[in-house]
């Protein structure tokens, strides 16, 4: 199957400090891909760079292609067609992501006009349908309200409705539930999963919440310090993480069941992008690191079990008894 989006050797630097060190990433049509990592690892920057949404002080290199279109270096008008039209994006803090001085209906209709040429009454009809679809109660009555008159969860629903307005092939959801309350998070995750199935649209789900990623995604990339360190099917990766960093993320999480014991944190902190370690960026915090790791940086290489891994001394592959981890787990695939 041809890829919907191909990212090749994408690099980003802010004020000549590199923050993204050459990302290779494919998104297949209709798939749900998760990007996981801690703040500053470059998971959001990757997609902001791909869509040309970074501030002008950022220097971007590499290649991003969407079908036959090369997005890097594309003229602004062409990018504007892609944004919202073929690739839509929603963000972390929904309450501040909507324009506070414009009525929500107008913000929705703007997207409909841009990408589907709808104006006037048909635009309003369609906007109301979208509001209905994302679960805004009394859409007609609330069409002419301002964003501050909606709760955070409803603002995120409105953002999603706006993203769907252009009937995109790909929805990038950048930490879409982080700012929301637990019960509302669950609603939004549920909505995203449902809409992806209904609209047959690929989703990139950017999150630091491993649990949420596990529920929404089929494939996961784990990023650390501007690089992908492990990539694979969600069941495989979550059942048996092989990069020590991925493993560390799981161990650091408290659980809702089992004994209440001390957690296993990853020691130290994320490196300053201006002072990256010479070898593997994770080596200073890694309990498995050896001399090699401090001097040489491992490349992201395909493994026998199908995943990609950037580690010289990874955790062992699944033992024979657990070969079935290759198969996706129940409930993950829709």
Partner 1 sequence: MITFVLIRLVRAVVTVLAVMTFAFVVLRMSGDPAQVLLGPDLPQEAVDAFRKEWGLDAPLWQQYLSYFRAILSGDFGLSMRDRSPAIELVLDRVPATLQLTLPALLLKLGIGIPAGIYAALHRDSAVDRGVIFLAILGFTIPSFVMGLVLVLIFAVTLHWLPSGGIGTWQHALLPAITMSIGGIGILARFSRSAMIEVMGQPYIRTASAKGVRWQDVVRGHALPNAAVPIVTIVGFMVGSVISGAVVVETIFSWPGIGRLLIVSVANRDLAVVQCILLIIAAVMVVSNLVVDLLYGWLDPRLRAQPAH
Partner 2 sequence: MTPVLDARDLVRIYQGRQGLFARPTPIRAVDGVSLAVHPGETLGIVGESGSGKSTLGRMLLGVDPAQEGEVRFNGCPLPAPKTPEWRALRARMQMVYQDPLAALDRRLTISVQIREPLDVHAFGTPAERDARVHDLMRSVGLRPDQADRYPHELSGGQRQRVVIARALATNPDLLVCDEPVSGLDVSIQAQVVNLLRDLQGGRRLAMVFISHDLKVVRNLCDRVAVMYLGRIVEDGPAERLFANPQHPYTQALISSVPEPGRPLETRVILQGEPPNPAKRPPGCAFHPRCAIATDICRAKAPPLRATAPGQTAACHHVTGAPASQAA
- Which chain residues interact with partner 2 by CB under 8 A? 38-39, 151-154, 181-187, 189-190, 193, 208-212, 214-216, 238, 248-257, 260, 262-267, 269-270, 285, 329-332
- Is residue 14 within 8 Å of residue 57, measured between CB atoms? yes
Both tokens of 66, joined, read 């969407």
* Half-sphere CA count of 51, side-chain side, radius 13 A: 19
Q: Which of 96, 125, 151, 200 binds partner 1 (CB under 8 A)?
A: 96
Q: Which of 53, 186, 300, 318 binds partner 1 (CB under 8 A)?
A: 53
Q: Which does 208 bind (CB under 5 to 8 A by kind): partner 2, partner 1, none?
A: partner 2
- Is residue 94 within 8 Å of residue 148, measured between CB atoms? no
Residue for token digits 């991003």?
64
Q: Which does 80 bind (CB under 5 to 8 A by kind): partner 1, partner 2, none?
A: partner 1
Q: Which does 88 bind (CB under 5 to 8 A by kind): partner 2, partner 1, none?
A: partner 1
Which residues in the 146-175 window bind partner 1 by CB under 8 A? 146, 148-149, 159, 162-163, 165-166
Does residue 136 bind partner 1 (CB under 8 A)? no
Which residues in the 185-204 window bind partner 1 by CB under 8 A? none
At 329, phi and psi to the nearest 5? -80, 160
Q: Rounded to the nearest 5 degrees, what angle is found at the Cα of 79, between the Cα atoms of 78 and 84? A: 115
- Is residue 12 within 8 Å of residue 59, measured between CB atoms? yes
**Interaction mask 55-84, partner 1, x per CB under 8 A:** --x------------------xx--xxxxx
Cβ at position 324, least distance to partner 2 in Å:
15
44 or 207: CB nearest partner 1: 44
Question: How far apart (Å, rounded) are the C-alpha atoms in residues 240 and 315?
Answer: 9
Terminal Cα-to-Cα distance of the chain (whole angstroms): 19
Does residue 305 bind partner 1 (CB under 8 A)? no
Dihedral sign for Cα 263, 264, 267, 270, please.
negative
- Helix (H) / strand (E) element for 310: namely none
Cβ at position 230, least distance to partner 2 in Å:
15
């Amino acid at each position: 199957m041809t890829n919907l989006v191909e990212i090749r050797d994408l690099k980003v630097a802010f004020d000549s400090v590199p923050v993204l060190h050459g990302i290779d990433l494919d998104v297949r049509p209709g798939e749900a891909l998760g990007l996981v990592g801690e703040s500053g690892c470059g998971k959001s920057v990757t997609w902001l760079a791909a869509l040309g949404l970074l501030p002008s002080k950022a220097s971007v290199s590499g290649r991003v292609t969407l079908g036959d279109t090369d997005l890097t270096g594309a003229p602004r008008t062409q990018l504007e067609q892609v944004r919202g039209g073929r690739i839509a994006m929603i963000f972390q803090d929904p309450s501040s992501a909507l324009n506070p001085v414009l009525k929500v209906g107008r913000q929705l209709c703007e997207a409909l006009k841009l990408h589907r040429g709808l104006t006037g009454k048909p635009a309003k009809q369609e906007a109301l349908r979208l509001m209905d679809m994302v679960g805004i109660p009394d859409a007609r009555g609330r069409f002419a309200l301002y964003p501050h008159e909606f709760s955070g969860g409803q603002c995120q629903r409105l953002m999603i409705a706006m993203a769907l307005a252009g009937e995109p092939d790909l929805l990038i959801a950048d930490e879409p539930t982080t700012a929301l309350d637990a019960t509302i998070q669950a609603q939004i995750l549920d909505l995203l999963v449902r809409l992806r199935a209904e609209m047959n649209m690929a989703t990139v789900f950017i999150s630091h919440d491993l649990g949420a990623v596990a529920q929404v995604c089929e494939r996961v990339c784990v990023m650390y310090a501007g690089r992908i360190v492990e990539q694979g099917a969600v069941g495989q990766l979550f059942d048996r993480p092989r990069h020590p960093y991925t493993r560390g993320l799981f161990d650091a999480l408290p659980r809702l069941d089992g004994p209440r014991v001390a957690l296993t944190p990853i020691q130290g902190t994320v490196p300053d992008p201006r002072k990256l370690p010479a070898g593997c960026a994770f080596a200073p915090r890694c309990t498995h690191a050896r001399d090699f790791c401090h001097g040489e940086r491992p490349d992201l290489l395909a493994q026998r079990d199908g995943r990609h891994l950037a580690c010289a001394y990874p955790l062992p592959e699944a033992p024979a008894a657990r070969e079935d981890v290759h198969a996706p787990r129940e409930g993950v695939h829709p």
